[in-house]
Chains A and B, each alone.
Chain A
Amino acid sequence: MKTLVKYLRPGDGVVLVLFAALAIGSFRFGSFVGAGDAGLAAIITVNHREVATVELNKASAFNVQGALGEITLQIEKNSIRVRRSACPNQVCVKQGAARRSGEILVCVPNRLVILLRGESLPSDRMPQESRGDAVTH
């Protein structure tokens, strides 16, 4: 411990404080800790194209076609999660459920991005209408 202190420099503290401030401050953007309102709808995009918009108050499970293969999404208890995905690292599956507006689920290899919205959906954007060909229930 004594030898470690010998090596430390003032700049280390500056970097640490800056880093920590950014890390703490970033929670203010993040609904990760529940700062956002409850999510009401999820916009599902694959390869930047919106393939479906679903409301979170109706439990369901459905597949979308990702860049690598099928992705199974599950909606329950006002949350959405990736149940299965044909991707190597399964980061999206391990991300768990998203339930707050502003939260996003991402599967990089499958080009999948799911965004949660707090406001209710206009009725003309129900799931089946929005390019239902990409969604298989």
Chain B
Amino acid sequence: MRSPTKSMSKPQMLTRTALLAGFGVVMFLFESLLPHPLPWAKPGLANIATLLALYWLGAASAWAVTLLRILLGSFFLGSFLNPGFWLSLAGGVASVAVMTLLKKFGEKQFSVIGISLAGALAHVLAQIIVAGFLIVRRWEIVYLLPVMLWPALFAGVVVGLAALFLLERLSRLHDDAKSDLGNRL
């Protein structure tokens, strides 16, 4: 399997990672302005940036894009080191970990949509676990699972579709280094 980074120079990698990190922060901030009809649910649009990075630039970029988004996003919203920040960090780390592992070991078995769904699931479970230890400290936290899992299921599919659409466009548009992005989708 070819590394996605091979056909890219280091400055290209860096600028593209920075671009996607910026995109992730913007999606994150945009999302925080949207109304939240379901109090526990956010669509997780910033994960589109992580998925783009994972497929286009590789696992290291996906980590950078996610961690930068969580950090910068919390600076913008003023939630750095708040309980909400830790929840966001836990969800982000768990979802990137699951997504990079699935991508690495199951690239042929999963499409972007499957990986996005697995990331959404990991995000919810990590948040429930951290919230259980950090905030609620009662087993009753499991009562929040359905209200968090159902929206995440739909969000995971939508985010995966959006990422697939963008990656497909990107693979056709982006032929500078004979990128094999299209073959890896």
From B36, B117, B146, contact of A15 by CB (8 A): B117
- Size category, B interface: 35 or more
User: In whole angstroms, what is the CA distance A109 to B106 when docked?
Assistant: 39
B101 to chain A minimum Cβ distance, whole angstroms, is 13
A104 B136 Cβ-Cβ under 8 A: yes
Task: Name the A residues within 8 Å of B174 (CB-CB).
Answer: none
Task: Name the B residues within 8 Å of A23 (CB-CB).
Answer: 146, 149-150, 153
A29 B142 Cβ-Cβ under 8 A: yes
Identify the stretch in A71-79, A88-96, A128-136 within 8 Å (CB) of chain B at 4 or more residues.
A88-96
User: In whole angstroms, what is the CA distance A16 to B118 when docked?
Assistant: 8
Minimal Cβ-Cβ distance residue in B for A26? B145
Q: Would you call B40 an interface residue if the criterion is a C-beta within 8 Å of the partner chain's C-beta atoms?
A: yes
Where chain B touches its partner, the secondary structure class is helix
From B82, B106, B135, B149, contact of A106 by CB (8 A): B135
A16 B117 Cβ-Cβ under 8 A: yes
B143 A32 Cβ-Cβ under 8 A: yes
| Known A29-B143, A108-B87; further 8 A-B contacts with Cβ < 8 A | A7-B111, A8-B111, A8-B113, A9-B108, A14-B114, A16-B114, A16-B117, A22-B145
24 contacts between A and B (CB under 8 A): A4-B164, A7-B112, A7-B168, A9-B109, A11-B109, A12-B113, A14-B114, A15-B114, A16-B114, A16-B117, A19-B156, A23-B150, A26-B145, A26-B149, A29-B145, A30-B143, A30-B147, A48-B137, A88-B79, A89-B36, A104-B138, A104-B141, A106-B135, A109-B84
- Size category, A interface: 35 or more
From A27, A48, A104, A106, contact of B146 by CB (8 A): A27
Interface residues of A (CB under 8 A from B): 3-4, 7-16, 18-20, 22-23, 26-27, 29-33, 48, 88-89, 91-92, 94-95, 102-104, 106, 108-109, 111, 113, 115
Closest 3 CB pairs of A and B: A12-B114, A11-B109, A26-B145
Interface residues of B (CB under 8 A from A): 36, 39-40, 79, 82-84, 87, 102, 106, 108-114, 117-118, 120-121, 131, 135-138, 140-147, 149-150, 153, 156, 161, 164, 168, 185
User: In whole angstroms, what is the CA distance A104 to B156 when docked?
Assistant: 25
A12 B149 Cβ-Cβ under 8 A: no
User: In whole angstroms, what is the CA distance A91 to B83 when docked?
Assistant: 14
A40 to chain B minimum Cβ distance, whole angstroms, is 15
Task: Evaluate whether A113 and B135 lie within 8 angstroms (CB atoms) in the complex, with A94-B39, A102-B140, A102-B143 already known.
Answer: yes
A1 to chain B minimum Cβ distance, whole angstroms, is 11
Task: Name the B residues within 8 Å of A89 (CB-CB).
Answer: 36, 39
Task: Name the B residues within 8 Å of A18 (CB-CB).
Answer: 121
Task: Evaluate whether A19 and B135 lie within 8 angstroms (CB atoms) in the complex, with A9-B109, A11-B110 already known.
Answer: no
B109 A26 Cβ-Cβ under 8 A: no
B146 A26 Cβ-Cβ under 8 A: yes
Task: Evaluate whether A108 and B84 lie within 8 angstroms (CB atoms) in the complex, with A32-B147, A102-B140 already known.
Answer: yes
